Structure 1
Amino acid sequence: MMNSANEWQTALPDFLLEAEMLLAKSEECLNHLHLIRNDSDAIDCMKASLAKLAEKADGLALQAISEFSRHIQYLIANAVSPVQLHDQALDALHDCLTLLAWQLELIDMRTGELSLDDSEQTSLIATVTSQIPQKDYAPDLQSRLQQGS
């Protein structure tokens, strides 16, 4: 967490640049999965990119972005058949990445605050969950994520 507004204003541009690159990489992986469904490397790349985005967002106390990224990554990692995602699942994941990109643009450059209603995140997570059958989807996902599951 940043100690001062000056530190925040210095760190934010670097974070945004890296976050955009991580989202672009995730998007490339998703596009690849539209073409080649069973590419485990593309799945692993997307999971790693989302996990790194969550980690970087944690470093700047951007909880909404870190939790959403981590939740998407968990749903992919916990899929019954992650290498057999159909078009609707891939489209739902695309919508999540689009929302993440939009949220990055809404971060206040002076304060680092991201004021948003989390209903769209909740709705998209519900859509992804319905499109990607889970091995053991836990209602209390937050505690699992914090424990590193």
Structure 2
Amino acid sequence: MPNDRKNWSQRLPEFLIEAETLLAKSEECLSHLQLINNDKDAIDCMLSTLLKLANKADALALEAVSEFSLHIHGLLTHAQHHMELHDQALDALKDCFTLMAWQLELVDHTTGKLGLDNSEQTSLIEAFAFQVGQSPCEVLQPPRSLAVVPFAQKQA
């Protein structure tokens, strides 16, 4: 569904502010994980913020941001169930967040396009996948859409 240009251009600045806030929250969770290894609350918080970011980017047809967030979300979900997040995995995740912050700053405010190729994104996803013991081939498949599940529903 194409975006209404007028509505889109009004929503983009609001999205960018919210995206920066969500990314900052993810980075805080990452810092927490660096202090307290595999803290479930920090991982859940990071997963939630990544999913919100992906959904909000998707609503504005910002595919690069949405897909990158979903890839990281998928890898982190896999990792939390299969291994402990060691320092190298957390460093690779930090690199992903750093690139995402740059991408948010470089989104063209007129077109919504990101004037970068996806090679660095792919490289960082592969590096994080390697650190969490997942095959890069599986990771680079198009991510499936994920729905936000309210915390209350997860508790039920």
- Normalised to the residue count of structure 2, the TM-score between the two structures is 0.85
The ranges of structure 1 where at least 4 consecutive aligned residues each deviate by more than 6 angstroms after the TM superposition are: none
Residues 134 and 117 of structure 1: CA distance in aligned 2, closer, same or farther (over 3 Å): same
Gaps of 5+ in 2: 148-156
Q: Does 1:17 align with 2:28?
A: no
Corresponding residue SS for 2:138: coil
Distance 2:74 2:95 in 1: 16
Q: How does 1:1-149 map to 2 (within 5 A)?
A: 1-4=2-5, 6-79=6-79, 81=81, 84-134=84-134, 138=138, 141-142=141-142, 145-146=144-145
Distance 1:147 1:15 in 2: 19
> How far 1:141 moved relative to its partner?
3.1
Distance 1:124 1:25 in 2: 20
Deviation string for 1:56-101 (max 9, x for gaps)?
0000000011000000000000116567211110010000001001
Native 8 Å contact 1:68 1:121 kept in 2: yes
> How far 1:39 moved relative to its partner?
0.7
Native 8 Å contact 2:71 2:139 kept in 1: no
Root-mean-square deviation (CA), in Å? 2.1
> How far 1:111 moved relative to its partner?
2.0
Q: Match for 2:76: what amino acid? A: I
Larger relative contact order, structure 1 or 2 (CA cutoff 8 Å, min sep 6): 1
Native 8 Å contact 1:80 1:133 kept in 2: no
Native 8 Å contact 2:107 2:114 kept in 1: yes
> How far 1:113 moved relative to its partner?
1.7
Corresponding residue SS for 1:79: helix
Q: Match for 2:4: what amino acid? A: N
Residues 110 and 139 of structure 1: CA distance in aligned 2, closer, same or farther (over 3 Å): closer
Distance 1:61 1:39 in 2: 33
Q: Match for 1:112: what amino acid? A: G
- Normalised to the residue count of structure 1, the TM-score between the two structures is 0.89
> How far 1:27 moved relative to its partner?
0.1
Select between 45-54 and 75-84 the one with higher mean Cα deviation. Answer: 75-84
Gaps of 5+ in 1: none
Deviation string for 1:92-136 (max 9, x for gaps)?
00000010010011111122221211000110011001101249x
